[in-house]
Amino acid sequence: MKINNIFIFIFCGSFISFQNCSKESGVIKDNLQHPDSSFLPVIFLCGQSNMEGVSLTSSIPLEFTETMSNAYIFHKPTNSSTDDGDVEVLKYGINNNWRDPNLYFGPEEGIAHYLTQWGHRIAIVKYAYGGSKLVFTGAISPYGYWQTDAAASPDHYSILINNWANQSLEKFKKAGFKPYIAAFVWCQGETDAHDLDAATKYQAKLVQLLDKFKVDLHVVDPQVDNMRIIITRTRSGYPYSDMIRQAQVNIADTYHNAYWINSDDWPLLPDGFHFTATAQATMQGKEIADILSKVIP
């Protein structure tokens, strides 16, 4: 697999020439050579409740409930074992919400639906935890932290690497695939937006997480440096959400292959916080798929 090292996040572009592509916060250029079709692009989905998704009892268009034969997921049927994951065809109800593995679905339904409809073959690895926080500011939280050196429990970054990332890539290989990490999708920030100290440090800690993910996965995927970073920008309405939102845009502007998508107009559930099933699939899922369709085989 050969990927040229030149981009700032999403890449719209032809195989060999530069081409402008739009980004919420500006225009960038990218030149990416597609891996050949023998490779399996793996999409990591991480964050808190709006990445976990919504209940299977939620109303969703029927096309998103169909089994998608060209989409695979690393699925853990319980949340009590560290090594019970395996590769399955992605289908409605296999969501990998860590707390209730078989009761929820999220943007993976839309990502898989659109990308497979457009002729791609993909894999999903999803680890998200509702209420989780990125920045550790000394407070104990039952929902845990993503900061790589938080030394708190649950330690979501360590769980992601040890129980999900390393295991899933090995499982995909054993299943006969040639996996590579195509994207890291991040939907998180609401919890940190209630804490001034966390909001102030959010940009640095998210960059630290992305950097460490690349370092830790480099041995199993030497091309991980070229993965796409897709951030669903946190909505307004929280005490320090403007700081979180600006940090996310700043990362998209400056981090290698980073891009942000705008959720401000997506419909919400009656609680006023969580995306509806339709928003999860037809909006968040489709926008992520639009980005990746340009750069995966």
CA angle 201, 203, 209 (to 5 degrees): 100
The full set of domain ranges for the chain reads 38-293
Average pLDDT, the chain: 87
* CA distance linking residue 24 with residue 251, whole number of Å: 12
**CATH-assigned architecture of domain 38-293:** 3-Layer(aba) Sandwich (3.40)
* CA distance linking residue 193 with residue 184, whole number of Å: 21
128-181: per-residue pLDDT in tens?
Answer: 999 999 999 998 999 999 999 998 899 999 999 999 999 999 999 999 999 999
253-285: per-residue pLDDT in tens?
Answer: 999 999 999 999 999 999 999 999 999 999 999
Contacts of 16 (CB under 8 A, 6+ apart): 31, 33
CA angle 200, 283, 163 (to 5 degrees): 60
SS3 252: helix
pTM over 0.85: yes
Q: What confidence category does residue 24 fall into, taking pLDDT thresholds of 50, 70 and 90?
A: very low
State the pLDDT at residue 32.
53
Q: What average pLDDT does range 16-36 have in this prediction?
A: 44
* CA distance linking residue 170 with residue 153, whole number of Å: 26
Residue 169: name the closest of 182, 157, 156, 158 by CA: 182
State the pLDDT at residue 215.
98
* CA distance linking residue 90 with residue 65, whole number of Å: 10
State the pLDDT at residue 164.
94
State the pLDDT at residue 41.
96
